[in-house]
Amino acid sequence: MAELSYRDAVAYGIAQEMRRDPHLVMLGEDIGAAGGVFKTTVGLLDEFGPDRIRDTPISEQAILGAAMGAAMTGIPVIAEIMFSDFLAVCWDIVANQMAKSRYMTGGQVSIPVVIRTLNGGGSRFGAQHSQSVENWCMMIPGLKVVAPSTPADVVGLMAASVRDPDPVVFFEHKSLLAGKAEVPDGELVDELGTARVVREGTDCTIAALALMVPRALEAAERLAGDGISAEVIDVRSLVPLDTQALLGSVGKTSHFYTVEENPRLCGWGAELASIVADEAFWDLDGPVIRITTPHIPLPAAEALEDMSLPSVDRIYETVRKTLA
């Protein structure tokens, strides 16, 4: 066991896979010589060389197009999109091309691409560099969507994503980069489509993702002080979605909450809420409640951004009030 930051876990996980598969390549802006704008790819150029770790121009369509074309002709690719907000610039390649090519061609092509991208708020970057856009990807048939919350999950889910023959969008959270935790030694390979119960409880289920997981855990700790036993589930993978884990938990607790960093409308939690309402209605003892960022562009000022994102206080207060 070694302690690793989430930031270092990214390069660690990529290196594990590049050592395993000599064909795997990565491309993106400033990922090589500079080690990444967020220093998530430090050391990779040195170990794997410029043919496998390639710096690109600021051409997001060209980056993802190249990733797709190489992947469909037999070379697996990891592509970095520096900020997830920039997916809007190359959305055609993601949503229209990568996601649909296998289906449209009757199964003739495979697109083994991992799109890594830095996601989420808390950095005071304002509305164009802070969004949580997992839901943009979740709604497109043909994309898999992953968002780890711990260094070990970064490594294990990175391996699972790289080894998956379908396009995977891999969201790394900017505000989790500095956090450290134990990562088991040896090869780490996780499984897409599996949620994890990160705190067991009996009174309510709180489903959270990425940065919202530690916040939900802290809120659960405080709720425990009030005699409320909250179960916290790290959803980890939105597509495929581990509905069994969610429904099983609601069957036990009878109350369901989501904590989402995205703005309100059509956030990932809305789909979970709908599934729980459809399939666990008779298990529920109260309304399904979504705790989200309000439906506004994210503001830059520290004070305003902190009011926007679901905070430990807001999670705690919401659950306490609605469960009482």
Partner 1 sequence: MSTEVHDPGAYDYSQRPARLPVDVDHSNKDLAIPLQDRVEMYELQQVLRQFEKRAYDLFMQNLVKGTSHLSLGMEAVAAGFGLALRPDDYSFATYRGHAHTIARGAALGPVMAELLGRENGILKGKGGSMHLTSVEHGMMGSYAIIGAHLTIANGAAWAAQLRGTDQVAVAFFGDGTTNIGAFHEALNFAAIWDLPVVFVCENNLYMEYTPIDVVSAVPNPAADRGPAYGLDGIVVDGNDADAVFHVASQAVARARAGDGPSLIEAVTYRHGGHSRADPGKYRPADEVEAWLERDPIPMYHQRLLELGVPEGDLAAIQQSVAGRVEDATEFAKGGSPPGEEHLFTDVWAAGGSAWRN
Q: How far is the CB of 140 from partner 1 (least distance, A)?
A: 11
Q: Rule CB under 8 A: which residues touch partner 1? A: 23, 25, 51, 54, 56-57, 59, 61-62, 64-75, 77, 92-93, 96-97, 101-110, 141-142, 164-166, 193, 239-244, 275
Q: How far is CA 281 from CA 250, 251, 255, 286, in A?
A: 10, 10, 10, 9
The distance of closest approach from Cβ of residue 166 to partner 1 in the complex, given in angstroms and rounded to an integer, is 5
Given the complex with partner 1, which of 61 and 254 has the nearer CB atom? 61
Closest distance to partner 1 from the beta carbon of 78 (Å): 13
Least distance between partner 1 and beta carbon 137 (Å): 12
- State the nearest-atom distance from the C-beta of 308 to partner 1, in Å: 29
Our CB check for partner 1 shows the closer of 14 and 138 to be: 138
Distance, CA of 14 to CA of 129 (rounded, Å): 24
- Which of 121, 193 has the CB closer to partner 1? 193
- 94 vs 213, beta carbon nearer partner 1: 94
Q: Which is nearer to partner 1, 105 or 202 (CB)?
A: 105
* Contact assessment for residue 193 and residue 241, using Cβ atoms and an 8 Å cutoff: yes
Please report how close the Cβ of residue 286 comes to partner 1 at its closest, in angstroms.
Answer: 24
- The residue type found at 6 is Y
Nearest of 58, 146, 136 to residue 92 by alpha carbon: 136
DSSP state letters, 18-80 = HHH-TT-EEEETT-STT--TTS-STTHHHHH-TTTEEE--S-HHHHHHHHHHHHHTT--EEEE
CB of 48 to partner 1, least distance (A): 12
**Choice between 217 and 276, CB closer to partner 1:** 276
Q: Is the CB of residue 157 less than 8 Å from the CB of residue 190?
A: yes
Phi-psi region of 28 (alpha: psi -120 to 50; beta: other; left: phi over 0): left
In the bound state with partner 1, the residue whose beta carbon lies nearer, of 76 and 214, is 76
- Backbone CA torsion sign across 181, 40, 305, 94: negative
**Residues with catalytic annotation?**
129
Residue type, 316: Y
Residue 82 near residue 111, CB atoms below 8 Å: no
| Tokens 């530690």 belong to residue | 214
Q: What is the CA radius of gyration of the chain?
A: 19
Strands 168-173 and 204-208: unpaired
- DSSP SS3 for 299: coil
Tokens of 228: 């409320």
